[in-house]
Structure 1
Amino acid sequence: MARRVSIKDVALRAGVSWKTVSNVVNDRPVVREETRVRVEQAIEELGYVPNRAGRELRGGPTHALALVVPELQNPYFARLAERMQVAARERGYMVSVEVSLGVAETERAHLRGNTPRPVDAVIISPSALTPPDLQVSGGPRVVLLGEMLPAAPEISHVAIDNVASAADVVRLLVAQGRRHPLFLGGDGAVRSTATDRLAGIRAALRFADLPLEAQRVRTVAGWDRESGREEMEQVLASGLEVDAVVAGNDLLALGAMSALIEHGVDVPGEVAVVGWDDIPEAAWSRPGLTTIAPDLEALVAAALDAALADSTRKAGGDGGASVVGGVETVVGHRLIERGSTSAAADR
């Protein structure tokens, strides 16, 4: 096995001391530019990877973050992970991508800082956490993506406005003459992306004097193509009148649209279909899928800002203890209209 390149190897190649190499690696402004360039060239030539273990054991900054997502089969999370890594690298940080597979204990472990290696912050898109799980103290800084769950005051949230985006969808469908929408995504007692989107749908339908009966809110086994297809087939078999399907994400929508088309239903002539996330497949499906597109660049930037910001503040006066304050950030979204929606025929 080849010997690991050490900091002393780099120092020898660059003709400097190992302390100078350390200063360059840690971006300390005490090294002359010509020396820095020489050291960086030696690092590249030798393929040196800094060993941060000592710094981590001393409790110093690791310049590492963990991004925890439920899965990578969903193209949205794959894109998120890629853009997070690129944006973090520009700030001098590494990102390890961890997949929770929707296991609550795995997500709780990351909140407590039980990551494969020490990190300065955990950015997590939870799928199994509950509000009590988020009443944490100590450990790395935590940023929640998407789910606006009640959490400890030091935990930050970054998300689109799920209620407003759902209302945008309903306004489009109502303007096109749709009167019998179906929501694929379910409801629940705990606030989640699904409950927020359902709240927006209900509010916009009430404004339009249209009901949303209980049988038009369908709980799915998962937010994937298979679940969308299976649930849509059950709806078709039940004979329930439907002229629009609003799915909790694009994968559910694409699965539902597949079932509709295979059963001879005209999309969008008879039934319109809308999703969330604007995954690449939404533009390539036939018909193309109308969807809510989050501003992913803004979401990534806001998550990194919250994870890396020095938000230490004093809790009260008179020498109160220092605590880390969380932030709430809402990023923008766009409703992208494609072929899966159009003005309905006379109804």
Structure 2
Amino acid sequence: MSTTPQRHTLPTDLFTLADHERHALARLDGPVWAYFSGGAADEITLRANRSAWDALTLAPRVLRPLAGGHTRCELLGRTLAHPIMLAPVAFQRLAHPDGELATAYAAAALGAGLVLSTQASQPLEAVAQAMLGDAGRGPLWFQLYLQPDRGQTRELVQRAEAAGYEALVLTVDAPCSGVREREWRAGFRLPPGIRAVNLPAAAAPSASGGTGPSNGAPAGSSALFDGLLRHAPTWDDVQWLQSSTRLPVLLKGVLHPEDARTALAHGVAAVIVSNHGGRTLDTTPSTASVLPRIADATGGALPLLVDGGIRRGTDVLKAIALGARAVLVGRPIVWGLAHSGAAGVAHVLRLLRDELEVAMALTGCATLAQAGREILADVGNF
């Protein structure tokens, strides 16, 4: 398989991320669209993630000095060109033949951090090679689902270390799949030739929660609690992982302030405030609504990142104001990838950064350090 991304000519009517979504919808077939765009159950959390950012209003300040402003930020000992990172998204070759390789090239070119999914459809070594050669790149992290066999987990970690990944992002909010009815109704299945190539075939997931609720468990037993969840990770596993790697460990999927405090006590490197894009448990709160509570609970002692529903540069600025160091973007990356490969992903990132700069300028923030809660009208600044 070639490691050189396909060249595409971008559509001429791409002015917003919604335009990217429209072009991706026209390109992807129904079941694949259901997989990437759907949420759990009634998709209440999926919608809430987006509406919560919209509901926050900015309180611009005027006549402030803006010359020499920039979007740089500090995260885990590195200076990033901007706070926009690419969230882990599985099976990206469903969207484009280049899959995660195209995403990596785009991330490197735009100085964006990349988190590669355990369920990537391209080898983790090839993705690292595509990104690590660019001097202006952002951080390269590997997202990890703990495997039932610790030996398999250790092997994944060792491969990531050897390939040059700089941190491990342990997803902790998905010990089982959510009730993903939109996928079930669409009949989504991984097509031949696409799989989680970094996992042994026997351990690779099907990508979907199945065709519906299981009725095959023996009477008086639970296929879930008596089966899969016997291997559900705990805080002990976090400690084991930390002792098994030289890389910093982040936790992705924290929504409760007490869990954030526990993560701080365990010495994790950072926490990603996330509800899995609304794909696991429906009716959980939006990430925008819990981010400030988690920031208050940890008092700045723990770096926070956030994902879920970010579609505008103003959303990025609001996340920074609420206490995040950086944001992660998932579905919009797939949209750009689907219609234009690496060029589409790069355009998504460029739009977000350009919009962030405009939002900073129009709120009187020359740097992200000046974007505190006082720029949000919703927290009593008027």
Q: TM-score category by the smaller chain?
A: under 0.3
Which structure has the higher relative contact order (CA within 8 Å, separation 6+)?
2
Normalised by the length of structure 1, the TM-score is: 0.27
Name the larger-Rg structure.
1
* Structure with the larger strand share: 1
